Amino acid sequence: MSENVMLTGDRPTGKLHLGHYVGSIANRVRLQHAYQSFFIIADLHMLTTKNSRADIERSAGNARDMVLDMLAAGIEPETATFYLQSAIPEVGDLNTLFQNLVTVPRLERVPSLKDMARDSGKEEMPYGLLGYPVLQAADILCVKANAVPVGKDNAAHVEVTREIARRFNHLYGDTFPVPELIHADVPTLVGTDGQAKMSKSIGNTVLLSDDATSVRRKVMGMYTDPDRVRADIPGKVDGNPVFIYHDAFNDDKAQVEDLKERYRTGRVGDVEVKEKLATALNRFLDPMRERRAKYADEPGLVDRLIVEGTERTREVVRQTVFDARKAMGLTSTFQAIRRKAQAATKSR
Ligand code: TRP
């Protein structure tokens, strides 16, 4: 495949939010026509931290929500390929081959894994969670992707993928591209609580699917400058969550500059800053709401996209696994034994 291929995606643990948007979805939308685009629903990765029957039962509904969120965000159903990771068992074949191309200490140094283990209340690191970046390398390389738009917490995983691709090519001959990480232009988005990154498990999110009233309610409850107890006290703009959101989502830049200026000099109240932010966010989300309504109106669209996309992707993955096994000489191992078996049968 000489064409440009992009692959990225999410675990099916819930609806997508503004943090996903700035970290990865904005780039997905922007690049979708420059690349052949694959979007993984990574339900096997979900199992590394959430593997109860209830978690698994919820994943189909979550997968549908995620795909609809992406369509609403502007991903075009005619050109995108959505697929369900667990429905392509050949990804596991590649994972097995890749496990020998990376060391345990290397994986132990991936910072996001320790965070995930801690956040999911694990006392000890599960083997599968340690292997999370290796499985992700299998995802990325199974379609020979050369571009991976992801947020900061996935950057180290893409680095592991690059190392595995290089190592494979070095040992067995050029087989895989060394994929590029596509960065977000906004750093990790803080949550509405101003305390930590926006994250479903913390409950500090604004969802792409939130209605205008919920957006307004969440914004009015946002944290601002804690030292500013009255509107006539000069406030801090840098690092202030409401201004981070204004910068990221308000397309009226003159309004943002005016608010910042008045905030710094104690001439605007938090309420006005928040009301203007709610209006700007709703203006940003309105086109998504329109597209969502249109796509949600087509019965079976999302399910059909996942099924057809998974079947298409599976063909590509089968070919890639064959290429990898051939490059390694594994196909000839069995062929040689079979030839001997056949020769022996004939000479009997
Ligand atoms: N690790 C991603 C997440 O944080 C999900 C994922 C799995 C992924 N495989 C991928 C992202 C391949 C990009 C490419 O949810």
Closest residue (by CA) to atom 10 of ligand 1? 136
Q: Cα angle at 194 between 191 and 197, to 5 degrees?
A: 40
Question: Strand, coil or helix: what is 257?
Answer: helix
* Ligand 1, atom nearest to 153 Cα: 4
pLDDT at 229 (0 to 100): 87
Q: Is 154 in the pocket of ligand 1 (CB under 6 A)?
A: yes
Q: Is 139 in the pocket of ligand 1 (CB under 6 A)?
A: yes
Q: What is the dihedral of CA 13, 15, 18, 24, to 10 degrees?
A: 60
* Ligand 1, atom nearest to 151 Cα: 4
208-240 burial: b if 16+ Cβ within 10 Å, else e: bbbeeeebbebbeebbbbeebeebeeebebeeb
Grouped pLDDT means (10 residues each) for the chain, 348 residues: 85 96 96 97 97 98 98 97 98 98 98 92 94 98 98 95 98 98 91 92 95 98 92 94 97 98 96 98 98 96 98 98 97 94 92
- Asked whether the beta carbons of 281 and 206 are under 8 A apart, the reply is yes
pLDDT at 1 (0 to 100): 43
DSSP strands (E only) in the chain? 5-10, 36-41, 81-84, 147-149, 180-182
> How many angstroms separate the alpha carbon of residue 9 from the centre of ligand 1?
5
Q: Is 91 in the pocket of ligand 1 (CB under 6 A)?
A: no
Q: Which residue has the tokens 């917490």?
A: 153
> How many angstroms separate the alpha carbon of residue 343 from the centre of ligand 1?
47
Q: Is 136 in the pocket of ligand 1 (CB under 6 A)?
A: yes
As a whole number of angstroms, the distance between CA 331 and CA 320 comes to 13
pLDDT at 187 (0 to 100): 85
| Pairing state between β 81-84 and 36-41 | parallel
pLDDT at 185 (0 to 100): 83
Q: Is 140 in the pocket of ligand 1 (CB under 6 A)?
A: yes
Closest residue (by CA) to atom 14 of ligand 1? 8
pLDDT at 348 (0 to 100): 81
233: Cβ–Cβ under 8 A, 6 or more apart, which residues? 227, 266
**pTM for the complete prediction?**
0.95
Q: Is 65 in the pocket of ligand 1 (CB under 6 A)?
A: no
pLDDT at 200 (0 to 100): 87
Closest residue (by CA) to atom 5 of ligand 1? 10
> How many angstroms separate the alpha carbon of residue 42 from the centre of ligand 1?
6
- Asked whether the beta carbons of 102 and 164 are under 8 A apart, the reply is yes
